[in-house]
Structure 1
Amino acid sequence: MKLMVQVKLLPTPVQAAALEATLRACNEAATWASEVAFEKDVKRNFALREHTYTEIKARWNLGAQAAQHVIKKVCDAYGTLTANLRAGNLGGPGSKRYRRAVEKPVAFRPQGAQPYDDRMLSWQTGRRRVSIWTTAGRLKDVAFTASPEQMATLARYRRGESDLLRRDGMWFLNATCDVPEAPPNTAAVDFLGIDLGIVNIATTSDGEIMAGRELNRIRTRERTLRTKLQRKNTPSARRRLRKRRRKEARRAKDINHKIAKRVVAEAERTGRGIALEELTGIRGRVRLRKPQRATHSSWAFAQLGQFIAYKARRAGVPVVYVDPAYTSRTCAECGRMDRANRVSQARFACRSCGFVDHADRNSSRNIRARAWELWRRGAESTAPVPLPGPGRGTRRKRSTTASGARSASPGL
């Protein structure tokens, strides 16, 4: 299983200047190669290399390996663009976003990430030093820092390329690690259902609420501050907006990692699998009033699902994806479905048998029951694949099960 371990570089001012010059040169070369690929309609690696390799080396003073990685990065960018267009992620062929994407070449930010292989980058993990190629020559003894867990993972499992990037004035290396998976548990005794929601981010079928109202108060305060800054629209306000946005993203990512870790640990401890909702295309299916849209779209539920899936795969815990339709209206005791059962956001009261429970816990119990039914039928364990159809608004017609999803998360 491929994982990304992010370590922070601690370069001296001279080393930082060399790294910045290298990133700028590589991304300028990539932007030029992208224009050539767009004009000549040549977007495959070896074909594009014939048109750009020699000039990239001479014009930007790049080595052979760096030039090849620049060309490969351009081809990968066009491959990603083509996949997004086919999936409908940029709208239909007549939409503004679609036209903007196809009518001009892909451009690269001056400080965009640059891949390095083992010929351009060597690690001295014990000394916490790296030796890295730059346009000013090879920099030796560039210090880096990482947590003990990350250091152990790097020492044992690092394989393949690493990406150099600069963010918020800091330098990072994203190292690819090939971590072995635990044998999957094919004899799960039950499932731990997870209900995802706006008020309570995650509620388990055991009744545990993770990241509830306290987090929502913080989110509301941040949204109010963001609205004020947007209205002010001064240079300092825009600068603060960028800073707040990155802080919110880090907070959400940290909370998602903690939730995923607790869920997987509990399932592994009790010998159970994990039941998740299949939420693909949910934003295209749900119709919301304008005041509800910010709240509905302000949490990275897809990221949380990915974190749970890859941590479960690493621990050998099976994951089952079920259709969440009507789980909030169905009684977990008698199975009666009625819209009136959902009395309020937090309260569920069955009109048929009188069962009363927290609404999110009732939903998570229904999710658990559906997953257990699928598992008892002997559903094949496969990861859910993206829909090939027109994109947003398309719905799956069946549930799928998974032992985990491929992850490229920098956290462990």
Structure 2
Amino acid sequence: MLSWQHQARTVSICSTAGRLKNVAFTGQAEQLEVLAARRRGESDLAWQGGNWFLIATCEIAEAALNAHPMSFLGVDLGIVNIAVTSDGARHCGRRVNRKRESDRNLRSKLQPKNTKSAKRRAKKQASKEARRNKDINHKISKQIVAEDERTGRGIALETLTGMRERARLRKPQRTTLHSWPFAQLGSFIAYKAKRAGVPVVYIDPAYTSQEGSKCHHTARGNRPSQACFSCRVCGFVDHADHDACHNIRQRGWMAWVCGAQSTAPELTLIA
């Protein structure tokens, strides 16, 4: 049980030891603005990592869906770069992967020790890694949605279901793939797009990395290496991720023309 004083940025909380008054709270400017205007229902007081967090639920009205997008932006999720767009933008990459590899090496050293201190450190490290990954996913999704909202386009994504089962990779690459929360990134893009009125469609990911975006010839031999795409028929050469993005963009546009509606799931935004 609590009451909010938004102007003073304080709350009054009822506790077992009596009522605690003038307890200060803070947040980013845009978060405080949303909190003051959109807060609904109950709030939760949580103790996490040695800090108290006051978690409030806010109801935000959806923006009107852009029913006539000018085109679509294809987004390819991968290993070397977490996300690559058909505009040529690359989100994260080798520096983040080096940090992820360092985290895995630290875990592999701590796990065999099996001591209380090692377990405590491993738990702390896992929490830190999860927060960092979540922050990166938020930044990537925010940039993608903001660019589409500005240009009046929609977003085309691969269906994420079964992504790990479909991948045929070497062991080090499998470890990298399994350690990144791609489903979280997809959900962040979906709910941010829903807030901005940007349409989202999911397409069948089959052969997007083996299909030529120019002549649409599909063959395994079109991928001589992980990073290179070279069409055996028309000779088109491009970075493999860029070629896949263009295929995703084209499939997304065709799905929309054929009557696909935005497939962004119903989500409740927690501030």
Q: Please give the TM-score of this superposition, normalised by the length of structure 2.
A: 0.95
Kindly tell me: are residues 319 and 250 of structure 1, through their superposed partners in 2, closer, same or farther at Cα, counting changes over 3 Å? same
Following superposition, the deviation at residue 408 of structure 1 comes to 4.4
Relative to structure 1, is the Cα distance of residues 317 and 334 closer, same or farther in structure 2, using a 3 angstrom cutoff? same
1:24-72 deviation line (CA, Å, top 9, x unaligned): xxxxxxxxxxxxxxxxxxxxxxxxxxxxxxxxxxxxxxxxxxxxxxxxx
SS in 1 for 2:225: coil
**Quick one: distance in 2 between partners of 1:246 and 1:307?**
19
Greater CA drift, 284-293 or 151-160: 284-293
Question: Which residue of structure 1 lines up, in the alignment, with residue 250 of structure 2?
Answer: 369
Q: Which residue of 2 aligns with 1:136?
A: 17
- Could you tell me how far apart the structure 2 residues matched to 1:260 and 1:406 are? 17
2-structure distance, mates of 1:286, 1:311: 27
1:329 deviates by: 0.4
Query: 1:377-411 CA deviation, whole Å, 9 max, x = no partner?
Result: 122x2xxxxxxxxxxxxxxxxxxx42x33334556
User: Residues 346 and 286 from structure 1, CA distance in 2 versus in 1: closer, same or farther, beyond 3 angstroms?
Assistant: closer
Q: Note the alpha carbon deviations across 1:162-182, whole angstroms, 9 max, x for none.
A: 122110111111100011111
2:239 pairs with 1:405: no
Number of equivalences? 271
Distance 1:407 1:230, change over 3 A: same
TM-score norm. by structure 1 comes to: 0.63
- Match of 2:180? 299
SS at match of 1:199: coil
Partner Cα distance (1:408, 1:229) in 2: 37
Indicate the residue corresponding to 2:82 in structure 1: 201
Percent of pairs identical after alignment? Answer: 61
From 186, 192, 195, the counterpart of 2:73: 192
8 Å contact kept, 1:186–1:318? yes
Question: Does the 8 Å CA contact 2:46/2:52 hold for their aligned counterparts?
Answer: yes
SS of the residue corresponding to residue 330 of structure 1 reads coil
Matched, 1:343 2:221: no
For 1:324, the equivalent position in structure 2 comes to: 205
Match of 2:215 among 309, 326, 334: 334
- After TM superposition, the runs of 4+ consecutive aligned structure 1 residues lying more than 6 A away are none
Give the distance between the partners of 2:134 and 2:239, measured in 1 at CA: 27
Q: Which stretches in structure 1 are left out of the alignment for 5+ residues?
A: 1-119, 382-400
Does 1:153 find its partner at 2:34? yes
Q: Partner amino acid for 2:243?
A: N
Looking at structure 2, the residues matched to 161 and 286 of structure 1 have their Cα atoms a distance apart, in angstroms, of 42
Post-superposition CA distance 1:138-164 (Å, at most 9, x none): 322222111111110001111111122
C-alpha distance in 2, partners of 1:288/1:215?
Answer: 19
- Aligned pair partner of 1:243 in 78, 102, 124: 124
1:281 matched residue in structure 2: 162
The residue that corresponds to 1:114 in the other structure is: none
Is the 1:195–1:360 contact (alpha carbons within 8 Å) kept by the matching residues of 2? Answer: yes
Corresponding residue number in structure 1 for 2:141 = 260
Give 3-state SS (helix, strand or coil) of 2:112's partner. Answer: helix
Quote the Cα distance in structure 2 between the aligned partners of 1:292 and 1:268. 33
Task: Give the drift of 1:284.
Answer: 4.2
Q: Kindly indicate whether residue 140 of structure 2 is the aligned counterpart of residue 233 of structure 1.
A: no
Distance 2:267 2:7 in 1: 27
Q: Which residue identity lines up with residue 21 of structure 2 in the other structure?
A: K
Secondary structure at the residue paired with 2:68?
coil
Partners in 2 of 1:405 and 1:359 — Cα distance?
Answer: 29
SS of residue paired to 1:314: helix
Q: Which has the larger radius of gyration?
A: 1
User: What SS does structure 2 have at the residue aligned with 1:145?
Assistant: coil
Q: Is the 8 A contact 2:229 2:238 kept in 1?
A: yes
Q: CA deviation at 1:294?
A: 2.2
Q: 3-state DSSP class of the match of 2:64?
A: coil
Equivalent residue letter for 2:58 = C
2:58 aligned to which of 171, 177, 180 = 177
Residue matched to 1:68: none
Runs of at least 5 residues in structure 2 that lack an aligned partner in the other structure: none
RMSD, aligned α-carbons: 1.6
Residues 265-310 of structure 1: CA deviation (Å, up to 9, x unaligned): 1111111100111111333445666544422211111111111111
1:352 and 2:233 are equivalent in the alignment = yes
